[in-house]
Structure formats: C-alpha cells, structure tokens
Amino acid sequence: MLPMLEINRLKPMVDNYDPIKFKRLYAITENLRRKLASGIDHRRFGVTQEDIISWFSDKFIYAYNKYCNEIRDEEILKGHLIKAMQFMKCRILRAAYQPKFSHPSIEFTPDLIDGNFHPYDDETKDHYYNALCKFLQERISDNAYMLFQLQLNPPMYVLHEMKMKGHDNIHKIPEEVICNYFNLGFDVDNIKLLKSLRKEINTNLDLAKEHFANN
C-alpha cells in the first residue's frame, strides 16, 4: 500500500454527520472517482484498477469526515471533496515514478541516448530507462517529470481520449487531453505552462544524450 492513502487515517464517522447527505455526495462523485483512477497505471503498484478506485473512496470518506461539520453548504463541501481527491491523484502520480514503483511498461529504446545498442534485451532497456529517469528526476521540476512520464507511458485514459478525438500519434499528446487528465482548465495560461514544461523536458533530454554519450 502507498503511504499517502487515507485508509490508515480513517476513523469512525464524526458525530451528527448527515448520512443522507453523505450518500448523495458519494453517489454524485462516483464518476469522478472512476475518472481519476482511470488515469493511474495500477500495474505500477501491483494492484487492480478496482483497488485504485477504492483509494479515492477512502480519500472521500476521510475528507468528508474532516469537513462535514465545518462546512454546511453542500456545494462548497462538494468542492472541498473534489479538490481533496484531485490532489490525491497528483500525489499518487508522483509516487508512481519513485524507483520502488518503477516497473516500466513502455518500449524504451537506448538509441535515444546512443545508437550503438542494437540489438538490446529487457535488462539493457531497464538499465537505460532507469538511468534516464534518474538523470531527469535530478534536474527537472516535479511537474515536468510527471509530464515526461505521461508522454513516455500514456495511461489508458489518455489513449482513449486521443482515439476519441482522432489523434493517432501517441508520441504527441494534445494539450487538451493533458489538461483534462490533470484536471486543469484548457486555457491560454495552462497551454503556456505545458509548452514551458515540454521545453524544460527537451532541453534536459539533449543534456542526457550528451551525458550518456560521454560516459
């Protein structure tokens, strides 16, 4: 299990909570929990997709317990619950790319760094994949690293969205799909942010090529 999950922090429901309101908000946010979970590769954690969904259910219960007596307005309470679950998704995504959860399901090609590694076996691919990830993780921002991993190994949600929008090139994920995946507004500011992060990634990929070519 992951350290950020709320299951170990769950307590009995607070006194005077409204079970009808709880059930209503839980039902309203069911599709959101599934959408958030669909953007996470469960294989990295050795669990099922249903387990991922249950993590968001745990987070919902924890956040509801925390805010239900403090916030009486149902719409405002719902907003806090949604934000809590969205923030949790970001934490899970960051944790997913820590070395202990690094089980790449992509076809990593060492010729990204040096063209002299053909043919190569799985052990070689894993070695250079991990070396590249470590190199980038030490040099780029957390947001840029998350985008790098998303581009390198897009989850099923992203692939589905691209297919629905008629985009066949999985190596170029449209800004709109990325914004939807991270629950960002598809606007000028976020498009500029994505371009800045991509520039940060590409600059450091060039540095990585030079580094591994010389070492």
- Does residue 112 sit in the same domain as residue 209? yes
- Counted domains in the chain: 2
Q: Which two tokens stand for residue 66?
A: 């925390």
- Does residue 150 sit in the same domain as residue 94? no
- Does residue 207 sit in the same domain as residue 112? yes
- Does residue 67 sit in the same domain as residue 137? no
Instruction: Report which of 37, 31, 32 is spatially closest to residue 54, judged by C-alpha positions.
Output: 37
Among 98, 120, 146, residue at a domain's last position:
98
Mind giving me the DSSP string for 59-98? HHHHHHHHHTTT---HHHHHHHHHHHHHHHHHHHHHHHTS
The pTM assigned to this predicted structure is 0.50
- Does residue 117 sit in the same domain as residue 205? yes
- With respect to residue 2, please indicate whether it lies within any of the assigned structural domains: no
DSSP 7: G
- Say what the pLDDT of residue 142 is: 84
**CA 164 – CA 4 distance, rounded (Å):** 33
Q: Domain residues for 204?
A: 104-214
- With respect to residue 192, please indicate whether it lies within any of the assigned structural domains: yes
- Does residue 92 sit in the same domain as residue 110? no
**CA 69 – CA 188 distance, rounded (Å):** 38
- Say what the pLDDT of residue 170 is: 64
Length of the chain: 215
- Say what the pLDDT of residue 126 is: 61
* Residue with token string 């202990």: 100
- Does residue 44 sit in the same domain as residue 144? no
Instruction: Report which of 79, 67, 70 is spatially closest to residue 32, judged by C-alpha positions.
Output: 79
Is there a contact between 64 and 22 (Cβ–Cβ < 8 Å)?
A: yes
- Does residue 85 sit in the same domain as residue 122? no
- Does residue 44 sit in the same domain as residue 115? no
Digitized pLDDT (tens) for each residue of the chain, 215 residues in all: 443 444 445 567 888 888 899 999 999 999 998 888 887 877 777 778 888 888 888 889 888 988 888 888 999 999 989 988 888 887 787 766 555 454 443 333 333 333 333 333 445 556 677 788 888 888 988 888 888 888 877 777 777 788 887 776 666 888 888 888 887 888 898 899 999 999 999 999 889 888 887 77
Mind giving me the DSSP string for 14-48? PTT--HHHHHHHHHHTHHHHHHHHHTS-GGGGT--
- Say what the pLDDT of residue 28 is: 92
- Say what the pLDDT of residue 183 is: 77
